[in-house]
Structure 1
Amino acid sequence: MARRIMISEGAFARRPVTAIMKPLGKRHDIAFLAFLALFSVYQQGRGKVFSPFWDYKVYAYALDQFRRGANPYNPHGFPFVYPPAFLNLFSHVPFHGFYLAFVCASLACLAYSLRHADFVVAGALGFFTGGAGVGGILTGNFAIFAHLLIIALFYAASTGKSSATAKHWLLAFFIALFAAIKIYFLTYALVFFFVPKGMRYLLAVPVCVALATIAQLVLEPRLWTDFETLLRWQMLTQNDSGLVLFGMLEQHVRALSAIEDVLIYELVVVALFIGAVNPFRAPRLIAAEKVPGRLFYLLAFALALNPRMKEYDIAPFFACCYVSLFQSSTRDNRLDRAFFYAVPLAFVAAWVIVKFGHVYYALDVAWFIGVYFVFVVVSLRQRALRLAGHAHARHADRDAHATG
C-alpha cells in the first residue's frame, strides 16, 4: 500500500497547482460540506441542540461552589473533573465574559492564520466527520477551542518568516497553561522536537507543568485528592473513558487493567508514528516543502497520544489528518479523492444503523476503526514521502559523485 500512495519528487514541485482540492468539483465539495455540517447538527439530538453548553455549565457551577466554600468535586452535582488549578485561575475573574473572550480569540486566531490557506475545505470535512466538531462546540468544552488555538499558532509559526521565536514562546505558554488543566495537552510539546532550536521549548513546557502540579499537591492537597477520586469515578463507573481503543476496552472488555489498556494504545500510536517519521534520524525538521503535510501529521500524532480521546479531541485530530493528506495529495490520486468523502459517509451510515437498526455498537465500532484507519492511512503517506525523499537524496549524491 505504501508503494501505491508514494509520490514522486516531481509532485513536490507541482504542489501549488495540485493543492487545489476538487474531489468532485468545487460546487460538490461545498455542497457536501454543507450537508455534513447540517447532518452533524441533526445527529446531536434535541438534548444537545436545545440545551447546549453543558460543559460550560459544569465550569460555572464548580466555580460558584468554590467561591462559596463548598466542595466543587461533589459527584452528586455537576461532575467537575478539572484540577484545582482551574478553580484558582478562574474564580477571581468574571468567568462568563472571560470564557466568551477566550472562545472568540481562539476562533479569530484560527481564521486569521488560515485566511490564505488552501486546505480549509479538507480541514472542515475532517472537523465535521462523525459530528465530532459540532458535538464539541455544542457542549462548550474549552478543550476544543484550546486545540484550535494551538493548531492555528503552530501553523502561523511555521509559515511566518518573522518573530518565530516569539510565536514559539507564546505556544509554549499556552501549551503549559492548558496542560496544567488537562495534562494530555503536554503532548503538543513534542512538536517542538521538529522545530529549529525547539529543544528549549520542549524542555520548558513539562517543567512548567510539573511545577504547577507540585504547587497544587502542596497548596491544595484536599482538593487534589477529591479531583483524582472524581476523575476515576467518571472514567470507570460512568463509562466515560473516551472513544478509541482505551475507551472501548474499558467499556466492553474490562479484561485488562487501565494501565495495560493505555500501554497497548500508546504502543500502537507510537509504532505508527516511528514508522512514518523516524524521529531518531536527522534531519528532524518539519520542512513542509520537502515533506508535504508533515506539520499537521505531527499535530495529529500529538492528539492521538491521548488515550481518552473525546469528541472535542477527535474533531481537531481528524481535521489535522485530512489537512496532512490533502497537502501531500495530487489531483489524479483517486484514492485520496474518495477518502475525503468515504470516511464521513461511513460515520453517517453508522449513525443511521444505530438510529433505525438499534445496533448500538455500530458507532463505537465506527470510532474505533475510523480513528485508527485514518491515522494509518496518513502514517503510510508520510512514510512513503520520507522514503521517496531519501531515495531522491541518494540518487542526487550518486549523480554528484559521478560528475565530480
Structure 2
Amino acid sequence: MHYFRALKITDSILIPVSASAVLIYLYLAYPYGSLWDMSVYLRAISDLSKGIDPYRINAGLPFVYHPLVLDSFAFLNRIAPLKAWLLVLYAMSSGWFVMEVMKWLRTNAHARTDRQTIRADTGWRASGCASLLSAAAFGGVGIVSVQSGNMTAFMHFALIAAFLRRSRSSELLVRNFPFILIAVLSVIKPYFLAYLLIPASLHESNWKKVQGSALTIATFLLLWMPSRYFNPEAYSSYIGALHYQMLDLGDVGYSFFMFYRRVVHNDLIALTLHGITACAALIMAVKVLPKKLETGENEGLVIFLLYSVLTLASPRMKEYDFFPAIICFFLFLKTVSGEAGTIVLIGLVFSWIPLMLSVLGTLGIAFHRISGASTTWQFVGLAAVVMTFVFANSRPRIIRA
C-alpha cells in the first residue's frame, strides 16, 4: 500500500496527461472520417424508401436493428433529416449523463467523512473530469465510440443518467423511468434487458423489483413480437443480417465470448464458458460491494460497479459499450480508493502500448512479439486496473452517508 501512496497520482496530473492522449488519438483518427455507423442507418432508410431490402449484406456494414427501429427511423426522417434527430439526441444524452454524474459526485463529496478521495469543496469536479478524460483516452476507446456515430454509447449514457437520477428521487415517474427506458432500448439492443439486475440489486421491496422487471419485459415483448408475426419477411431478414454479422463475420467485439470462441472454435462451448465467466464476475462484484450498501446508502456505487460488470458480461461488447462501462468503473474507483489516480494511470499505460509501438515503429524500432490490436491492450489495461485495485484496496473505503 505504501508504494501507491508514495507514487500517488492526483487529478491535477491525470487530467492533462489524459487530455493530451485524447488529442493525440483525435489527430490519428481524423483521416478515417466519422459517423460511419450513422451512414448505415441512413442507407437503410434510403433502401426502404426505394423498395430495396434494407437488411442486405452486400452494401458494406449491414443494418442489424429490429424492423420497429427501422420504421421509427423512417418516420423521423419524414419529419426532419434522421442525422439531425440523432445528433440532437446524442447531445442531449451526453449532456444529461455529464450533469447527473457531476450532481452525484457533488452530493457524494459533501457526504464523505474521508476526504482523501474526493474533497468536499471542488475536488468532485476534478474527479469527474479525470474519470471522463481517462476513459476517453483508454486506448482511444472514447474517440472511436463517438467518431463512429453509433447510437449505443449514447443509449448507455441515457440509461446511466436515468439510474443516477432515480437514486436521489422518490417521484413515481423518475423511479420508473429506467424501466421504461430499458424496455425501449432493448428493442434496439436486446442485451439491455440485463441491466434490470441493477434495480434488482438496490435497496427496495422485492415486490417493487419483481413488478418493475415484469412490466419491463412485458413491454419489451409487446414492442418486439408484432414484427415477427405481422412483418415476417422483414423480421427474417433482420435475424439473417444479425446472424451474418455476429457469427459469419465474427463481429462480437472483444467480449469473453470472442476470446473463448477463438480458443475452442465452438460457439456453444464458448458461450458456456462466457456464461461461467460472466457469473463469476458478477459474484465478485457483489463481494466487493460493502454490506453498508445493503441498507440503501450510496446507490451510485452499486450502479457504477454493476453497470461496468454487466457490460463486460455481454456476449457482444463493442467499443461503444466498453467506453461507458470504463467511465462507470473509473468513477467507482475514484470514490472508493485514495490511490485511484495511480491505478487508472497504470491501466492507461497498458492501453497505450499500441500507440507507443506505432511511434517507435516510425523511428525504425519494432517489437512484433508484443504488438497487437488496440482492443487487446484495452483489455490488458483493464485487467491491470482490476488487479492493482484488488492489491491496493483489499478493504475499499466507503462513505458514510
- So what's the TM-score if we normalise by structure 1? 0.79
Task: Give, as a single letter, the amino acid of the residue that structure 1 aligns with 2:336.
Answer: S
Contact 1:249/1:261 (<8 A) preserved: yes
Q: Deviation of residue 39 (structure 1)?
A: 2.5
* SS of residue matched to 1:93: helix
Q: What is residue 340 of structure 1 aligned with on the other side? A: 344
User: Which of these residues, 247, 254, 265, is aligned with residue 274 of structure 2?
Assistant: 265
Q: Does 1:210 align with 2:225?
A: no
Task: Give distance in 2, aligned partners of 1:380 and 1:136.
Answer: 31
Task: Give, as a single letter, the amino acid of the residue that structure 2 aligns with 1:190.
Answer: L
Task: Give, as a single letter, the amino acid of the residue that structure 2 aligns with 1:145.
Answer: F
Q: Does 1:353 align with 2:374?
A: no
Q: What is residue 229 of structure 1 aligned with on the other side? A: 240
Task: Give, as a single letter, the amino acid of the residue that structure 2 aligns with 1:147.
Answer: H
User: Does 376-385 or 115-124 show the bigger shift?
Assistant: 376-385
Contact 1:321/1:378 (<8 A) preserved: no
Q: What is residue 32 of structure 1 aligned with on the other side? A: 17
User: Which of these residues, 51, 73, 83, is aligned with residue 90 of structure 1?
Assistant: 73
Aligned-pair Cα RMSD in Å: 3.2
Q: Deviation of residue 384 (structure 1)?
A: 4.1
Contact 1:43/1:131 (<8 A) preserved: no
User: Which of these residues, 20, 36, 45, is aligned with residue 54 of structure 1?
Assistant: 36
Q: What is residue 112 of structure 1 aligned with on the other side? A: 99
CA distances 1:19-46 after superposition (whole Å, capped 9, x unpaired): xxx9534432321121121133234362
Q: What is residue 309 of structure 2 aligned with on the other side? A: 301
- Please show how residues 2-401 of structure 1 align to structure 2 within 5 Å: 23-44=8-29, 46-47=31-32, 51-78=33-60, 79-94=62-77, 95-116=82-103, 117=105, 118=124, 119-124=127-132, 125-158=134-167, 160-163=168-171, 165-195=172-202, 196-197=204-205, 198-199=208-209, 200-250=211-261, 252-253=262-263, 255-277=264-286, 285=294, 287-289=296-298, 293-330=301-338, 333=339, 336-353=340-357, 356=361, 357=366, 359=368, 361-374=372-385, 384-385=395-396
Task: Give distance in 2, aligned partners of 1:153 and 1:62.
Answer: 30
**Identity over aligned residues, as a percent?**
21
Contact 2:155/2:185 (<8 A) preserved: yes
Contact 2:285/2:305 (<8 A) preserved: no
Q: Deviation of residue 162 (structure 1)?
A: 4.2
Q: Deviation of residue 242 (structure 1)?
A: 0.8
Aligned pair count?
358
CA distances 1:107-162 after superposition (whole Å, capped 9, x unpaired): 2212321344323134211243111111010010000111111111211221x244
Task: Give distance in 2, aligned partners of 1:181 and 1:382.
Answer: 38
Task: Give distance in 2, aligned partners of 1:171 and 1:155.
Answer: 10
Task: Give distance in 2, aligned partners of 1:211 and 1:106.
Answer: 25
* SS of residue matched to 2:41: helix
Alpha carbons of 1:138 and 1:276: their partners in 2 closer, same or farther (altered >3 Å)?
closer
Task: Give, as a single letter, the amino acid of the residue that structure 2 aligns with 1:222.
Answer: E
Q: Deviation of residue 377 (structure 1)?
A: 6.1
CA distances 1:22-77 after superposition (whole Å, capped 9, x unpaired): 95344323211211211332343621xxx210011100110111122210011111
Q: What is residue 396 of structure 1 aligned with on the other side? A: none
Task: Give distance in 2, aligned partners of 1:203 and 1:240.
Answer: 31
Contact 2:9/2:342 (<8 A) preserved: no
Task: Give distance in 2, aligned partners of 1:238 and 1:103.
Answer: 28
Question: Which consecutive residues of structure 1, in runs of 5 or more, have no partner in the other structure?
Answer: 6-21, 390-404
Question: Which consecutive residues of structure 2, in runs of 5 or more, have no partner in the other structure?
Answer: 106-123
CA distances 1:200-223 after superposition (whole Å, capped 9, x unpaired): 222222222223222221122111
CA distances 1:64-106 after superposition (whole Å, capped 9, x unpaired): 1112221001111141111212112221112223212211210
Q: Deviation of residue 176 (structure 1)?
A: 1.1
Q: Deviation of residue 288 (structure 1)?
A: 4.2
Task: Give, as a single letter, the amino acid of the residue that structure 2 aligns with 1:70.
Answer: I
CA distances 1:275-297 after superposition (whole Å, capped 9, x unpaired): 33159x998747344x8833210
Alpha carbons of 1:56 and 1:380: their partners in 2 closer, same or farther (altered >3 Å)?
farther
Alpha carbons of 1:358 and 1:175: their partners in 2 closer, same or farther (altered >3 Å)?
farther
Task: Give distance in 1, aligned partners of 2:250 and 2:72.
Answer: 29
* SS of residue matched to 1:297: helix
Task: Give distance in 1, aligned partners of 2:15 and 2:379.
Answer: 28
Alpha carbons of 1:122 and 1:263: their partners in 2 closer, same or farther (altered >3 Å)?
farther
